[in-house]
Amino acid sequence: MSDSCQKDEYSPPSCKKAKIDNENVNDVSENKLQLKDFVIEKILSNNTNRKTVSVTGKFKDKSGVGLIIFEKNAFKEEDLSEEGYFCSETELRTFFQNDIYGNYECFPRSELNGVKTTIIYPATDKHIAKFVHQELHIVLETPELYETLTLPHIEKEQFNLQWVYNILEGKSEQDRIVYDNKCETEGFVLVPDLKWDGVTKETLYLLAIVRQRGIKSIRELDETHLPLLKRIRDEGKKKILEKYHIQGSQLRIYLHYQPSFYHLHVHFTYLRHEAPGIYAERSHLLDTVINNIEIMSNYYKKATLPFPISETWSLFGIYETNGHIKRVQPSIELIDK
């Protein structure tokens, strides 16, 4: 491997960032964003299963819409100790007690009560649409539909990728990088996903963002990308084992289609963690992608690929207008008179 493909490594902290859809991606503290200055305008969603809530509003004395996502943190096994949930500061409030059964509300010390918080400011309509309650459909995208409908939409409407380039060019989030292979053709940066706090092993979630530009999604992969894909798989597994002590066989390594942003990236999650977007209609295991390309070089340029789509997405309107999908009509209750 040439000198340009030598690898540099960084240690990840547990800081939280606000991703901004423009040329400046700054730390929340640098933007002086405080929740006490946030005025809620609308609750977009409240997922009681995943314990997440999304709201929009305005920061006082600032223009633009803010999008805030709160998520209850997963339990850390190391906190199940006399210094954690079973310490003297923990309080129990009784709901009821009946024979051997008791139901309580537990109030542990404040350090254990953190709520994972993501701030997107200023948020665009596309950001907000992702968190609104959605009617979902599955599109079976043929290569022809990709070329005539999906690709033109991607090229016109995709999110600004400056925040990705800022990471790759060393302009931001360098203190979050877990691993960095600087090879321009086969290199990638491994960073914690915004959905992970960077600490809790049970919810491990990392993204491998490739250095090579111009690869939008798995649709554009062929045999020339096999060295890149295998390097991501092998070096990603190795680094995660070294740093987080999770075996490669305990990782879910996959790509999304459609992806949330159109610069090729690979997801690494702990197999025990039921991360968003892991289901069959959207997730493609990296090993399967590699195997398909080894069998047929242009497999992903020939295949019909499914993907879930929300009625709130502009791409839905394009497929609907062209007769490939139909919006759900509101149900009408018939009342006997």
Indicate the annotated binding residues for substrate.
Answer: 163, 173, 193, 195, 256-267
Structure tokens at 131: 């968190």
Task: Specify whether the CB–CB gap between 120 and 67 falls below 8 A.
Answer: yes
* C-alpha–C-alpha distance, residues 298 and 320, integer Å: 28
Q: Could you give the residue numbers annotated as active site?
A: 265
What lies within 8 Å, CB to CB, of 224 at 6+ separation is none
Task: State the sign of the Cα–Cα–Cα–Cα dihedral 31, 159, 229, 227.
Answer: negative
* C-alpha–C-alpha distance, residues 32 and 56, integer Å: 18
The bridge status of strand 179-181 relative to strand 7-8 is antiparallel
Does an H or E element contain 242, and which?
helix 226-244
Q: Could you tell me how far CA 271 lies from the centroid of its own chain?
A: 15
Give me the phi and psi of 138, to 5 degrees please.
-110, 130
Q: How far is CA 128 from CA 54, 86, 98, 281, in A?
A: 9, 40, 46, 22
* C-alpha–C-alpha distance, residues 140 and 150, integer Å: 12
